[in-house]
Amino acid sequence: MLIEVEPIQLETLHTFKIARGERKRYENFVFRITYENVTGIGEASPQQYYGESSNTVNEAVRRISKLLEGEPKELRERLFTGDLREQLKEDASVRAAIDMALWDIEGKIAGKACYDLLSLDPQKAPVTSYTIGFDRPEVIDRKLDEAVDFPILKMKMGIPGDIALLDRAIQRTGKKIRVDANEGWDLDTALHIGKELAERGIEFMEQPISHHKREDLKTLKRLAPLPVVLDESIIDPDDVPRCKDLGHGINIKLTKCGGMTPALALIEEARNAGMSVMLGCMIETSIGITAAAHLSPLADYADLDGNLLLAYDPFEGVQVDKGKLVLGKEPGLGVVRRDAD
């Protein structure tokens, strides 16, 4: 197999601010893997929070490039539970990119879209939320205007002044809203604000407390007046049984868990634990977002808008119609480069 990796520079339309910090520029990586003259595409979005960087991506590729031999399905299994998983245990975004590319190859060889390979109905793909990052009130207004076609919003919270901005969004839009504190609250704050969120009709709150505070999360799940969805608490399928008492649902991100294959296992574990499933994302192009969208008929919620927050997305894949994820019929992932000849 031939593997090629291209760094790409991305910029969000607005500075993206959450409880842990803010950014506007990102370096992601496009992976192209060729097997028997069929090329698949994937995307790595390395996250500093999980110990990844541009350097770790390049080093991981150097380390495993000669090990990518065999059929795509076999390689996916090795990435998920075998020797490649061990080699890349700290490099989830690299595993994700390779796994996406292998699914793309399998679909192209079979002449089927990835959702068809999984016997999923693309009409059952959910409506995605549109994320409103923390910002000044006048910028929040612009963001809300840009999200006019989206019936569901996700507001970033966990920063002083967050309730006032939430109320601003409620008053201006009247839309269904979810909130994400990115571990920005302690237990007392989460309980207090959780009551206010419930009074405002907020659908759920995502990772309000640090994933290290397991007992606090357990207490919050028991006492919170609205559902708690876990994000940073959940990485691998094995995390789900250990965390089922800490939240009502889980947020699965391909670049966090290592791709579509482990995401399928996470979904199964969540269902076995009686937990809801949301498919989320990082700041990514249409490559990573489309890969997740192929699994979205299995999810209760979608937060697949990382590409929509970009000033320019160099790829095209899943479409969005008034928030509804619309997958094409092309084989594999169905992603193309916008500036392709």
Q: Is the pLDDT of residue 339 over 80?
A: no
Q: Is the pLDDT of residue 178 over 50?
A: yes
Q: What CATH number should be reported for the domain holding residue 91?
A: 3.30.390.10
| pLDDT tens column, 134-145 | 999 999 999 999
Which three-class secondary structure state does DSSP give residue 225? Answer: coil
Last residue of a domain, one of 78, 94, 112: 112
180 and 87 inside one domain: no
In percent, the amount of the chain with pLDDT more than 70 equals 99
| pLDDT tens column, 24-71 | 999 999 999 999 999 999 999 999 999 999 999 999 999 999 999 999
Q: What CATH number should be reported for the domain holding residue 274?
A: 3.20.20.120
Reported residue count of the chain is 341
98 and 160 inside one domain: no
Q: How confident is the model at residue 22 (pLDDT cuts 50, 70, 90)?
A: confident
Exposed/middle/buried for 322, CB within 10 Å: 0-12, 13-18, 19+?
exposed
Name every residue whose Cβ is closer than 8 Å to that of residue 193 and which is 6 or more positions away in sequence.
Answer: 157, 163, 185, 205, 208
| pLDDT tens column, 264-289 | 999 999 999 999 999 999 999 999 99
Q: Is the pLDDT of residue 211 over 60?
A: yes
175 and 291 inside one domain: yes
179 and 246 inside one domain: yes
Last residue of a domain, one of 60, 81, 112: 112
| pLDDT tens column, 222-245 | 999 999 999 999 999 999 999 999
Tokens representing 261 are: 């294959």
Q: Is the pLDDT of residue 217 over 90?
A: yes
Last residue of a domain, one of 112, 129, 154: 112
**Total domains present in the chain:** 2
- What does the DSSP assignment read for 93-130? HHHHHHHHHHHHHHHHHHTSBHHHHTT--GGGPPBBPE
Average pLDDT for the chain: 96
| pLDDT tens column, 153-173 | 999 999 999 999 999 999 999
Average confidence (pLDDT) over 309-331 = 97
181 and 56 inside one domain: no
Q: How confident is the model at residue 341 (pLDDT cuts 50, 70, 90)?
A: very low
Q: Is-above-0.85 flag for pTM?
A: yes
133 and 263 inside one domain: yes
Name every residue whose Cβ is closer than 8 Å to that of residue 231 and which is 6 or more positions away in sequence.
Answer: 180, 182, 206, 207, 250, 251, 253, 280
Cα four-point dihedral sign 24, 21, 126, 288: positive
105 and 68 inside one domain: yes
Average confidence (pLDDT) over 293-321 = 98
98 and 132 inside one domain: no
CA nearest neighbour of 197 among 212, 176, 211, 182: 176
pLDDT score recorded for residue 19:
82
The boundaries of the domain holding residue 76 are: 2-112
136 and 237 inside one domain: yes
229 and 243 inside one domain: yes
131 and 250 inside one domain: yes
Q: How confident is the model at residue 107 (pLDDT cuts 50, 70, 90)?
A: very high
Side-chain-side CA neighbours of 24 within 13 Å: the count stands at: 5
142 and 94 inside one domain: no
Contact indicator for 282, 50 with CB cutoff of 8 Å: no
Average confidence (pLDDT) over 121-125 = 97
